[in-house]
Amino acid sequence: MRLIKLSDIPRGEPLRWPIYHESGHLLFARGEIIDEDLIQVLRESSIRQVFALDNYKIKPERFREQVRHKQVSVIGLSARDMLSQPVFSNSGQLLVPSGQYINDDYKTTLIRNNIQNVAVKKNSRELKLKQVSAFNRNLRLLQKKQANGETFEGKADESDIAKTVKPGEPISDSFVEKAEKSMQAHVRPSSMTLVNLMRKQMKVVFSESEKQRLSKFYQTLTNETEVLFSHLRNNQGVQGAKVGELSQKIMKEVLTNQNFLLSLTRMKQRGDFLFNHSLNVSIVGMNIAIALGYSEKQVREIGVCGLLHDVGMLLVKPEIVGKKGKLTSQEMAGVKKHPAIGLKLLQNIEGVDQLACVVLFQEHERGDGSGYPRGLKMADIHDFAKVISVADVFDALCNSRPHRGAQIPYKAVETILRATKLGQFDKKIVTALLKCVGLFPIGSWVQMTDASIARVIQSNFDNFDKPVVKIFFRGEKRLDEPEIIDLCDKSGVTIEKAIDFNQSDEELLKLF
């Protein structure tokens, strides 16, 4: 336990210890991510120093007891002082009970029994409780501002989200190029508020009823995506607001049930994989956006972009999409036309966002210029397109396709990291992916250094290689009661390697 200045509070990474006000009130829990907006909240509340409870042996209750009480000489006691602890004589007789205000009789009794000092409660002025009230008020104000895309420094960079395609305006590559010129390719994040909210609400253990509800929810989303795509394929009109509502539903569950939703994206895809894939890219993309510190509006827009990013594949010949062998150069050229085809299909969405059109046309570009359709370099690719491209590749690698099997999630991350070294993906976007899925992504099976077999059920943000795992096997023996271990807290045991542990979808859900 130590008193630190605001400048000593680490920014942009999960707190390793909780931070308390001098009164003992909790300001920031362990694991929260502090940004400049939250530091400004402290300053606006006249808080200049805080307690860092970095000694795990000291319990919060004991800490609060220490800071909220003080030792006072009996001679200096007044009628305003309340005892915080009972006082006993040398023989063990109770002289004054806890919680009593001092009067002359109590004071005389203490002096007669040779009591020198007693513990009394600090008053509200000494505890600086006005600072706590101001902190809570300013924190609510910040949260309200951020819900509207603002920070203490002003509006977040959300102007591009509000731009929609005018009714009847043709959407083509020239339209995208014009839209690109009116947009900033780099997006300024809003704050880390959504990250902290997600981490506070994050669950590790799910009841059977919760698993069933979320599985049904995921299937409903898949069905709604299929209906949406069917309308687009048949040139039927779609309201842009409907796509936004679908994205809003996804974001709500991502914030509260991130781990289980990410696990569902690993389920085997049946029928036309495009529906599941588009939904998965939306889910993974939202997680990346939250880890980057994007605002609610920005995260919702990422969700829309994820849902629509590959709609052009709807009109690619089925025999090419379903081919089990390697595509010929001519077939590959046909596949690479799907971004342009997708733009035409977006014409069927009334009030579609310009940004969704730009992302659809850019998400297959790569930072080194090796992507398509225009071979753009990193500086010319919109940050939202960079997010969707990483989410797209991650999900595609983790799930099977007609021409190849699925990679285990660790191998998928490894592939993305190699491509990042070659300059194809943005490092900050890939780092955000690692923060939300980990080096050993949620759903991965791993072998521990003690020979036990476990499944990864939660990432640990900056500690990419130390997730929360659920141990099912010790050696050859399956445990009757699986053990959940946070590798950040467990010394001596680490992950030795990722393994391919083949299970059916039903078994995987039971094991989560």
Provide DSSP, 144-192.
HHHHTTEETTEE-S-GGGG-BPPTT---SHHHHHHHHHTS-SSPPP--S
Q: Are residues 220 and 268 in the same domain?
A: yes
Task: Identify whether 408 is part of a domain.
Answer: no
Question: What is the Cα–Cα distance from 68 to 132, expressed in whole angstroms?
Answer: 14
Task: Identify whether 407 is part of a domain.
Answer: no
Q: Are residues 368 and 504 in the same domain?
A: no
Q: How many C-beta atoms lie closer than 10 Å to residue 111's C-beta?
A: 13
Residue 307 near residue 279, CB atoms below 8 Å: yes
Q: Are residues 317 and 189 in the same domain?
A: yes
Give the H or E element holding residue 3. strand 2-5
Q: Are residues 300 and 191 in the same domain?
A: yes
| Residue at a domain's end among 144, 176, 202 | 144
pLDDT at 148: 57
Task: Identify whether 429 is part of a domain.
Answer: no
Question: What is the Cα–Cα distance from 165 to 299, expressed in whole angstroms?
Answer: 20
Task: Identify whether 490 is part of a domain.
Answer: yes
pLDDT at 337: 95
Question: What is the Cα–Cα distance from 441 to 160, expressed in whole angstroms?
Answer: 32
pLDDT at 205: 67
Q: Are residues 260 and 133 in the same domain?
A: no
Q: Are residues 200 and 92 in the same domain?
A: no
Reading phi first (left if > 0) and then psi (alpha if -120 to 50, else beta), residue 187 is in beta
User: Can you give the pTM of this predicted structure?
Assistant: 0.72
Task: Identify whether 242 is part of a domain.
Answer: yes
Question: Judging by beta carbons within 10 Å of its beta carbon (0-12, 13-18, 19+), is residue 474 exposed, middle or buried?
Answer: middle
CATH code for position 362: 1.10.3210.10
Number of domains in the chain: 4
Distances in Å between the alpha carbon of 434 and those of 124, 176, 387, 416, 428? 45, 31, 12, 10, 10
Q: Are residues 161 and 258 in the same domain?
A: yes
Question: What is the Cα–Cα distance from 115 to 122, expressed in whole angstroms?
Answer: 20
Q: Are residues 335 and 235 in the same domain?
A: yes
Q: Are residues 160 and 294 in the same domain?
A: yes
Task: Identify whether 396 is part of a domain.
Answer: no
Task: Identify whether 397 is part of a domain.
Answer: no
Sign, CA dihedral 422-426-431-437, equals: negative
Q: Are residues 476 and 368 in the same domain?
A: no
Task: Identify whether 300 is part of a domain.
Answer: yes
- The encoded tokens of residue 393 equal 């590749």
Sign, CA dihedral 61-62-68-69, equals: positive
**Mean pLDDT in consecutive groups of 10 residues from the start of the chain, 512 residues:** 86 81 87 82 91 76 80 87 88 89 88 90 84 88 66 51 81 90 78 66 74 90 94 91 93 84 74 86 94 88 96 92 89 94 94 94 96 95 97 93 84 94 95 89 88 88 84 88 86 86 55 53
pLDDT at 176: 92
Q: Are residues 118 and 133 in the same domain?
A: no
Distances in Å between the alpha carbon of 206 and those of 123, 256, 457, 511? 44, 12, 11, 10
- The encoded tokens of residue 319 equal 């025999």
Q: Are residues 56 and 82 in the same domain?
A: no
> What residues make up the domain containing 254?
156-390
- The encoded tokens of residue 473 equal 């096997």
Give the H or E element holding residue 122. none
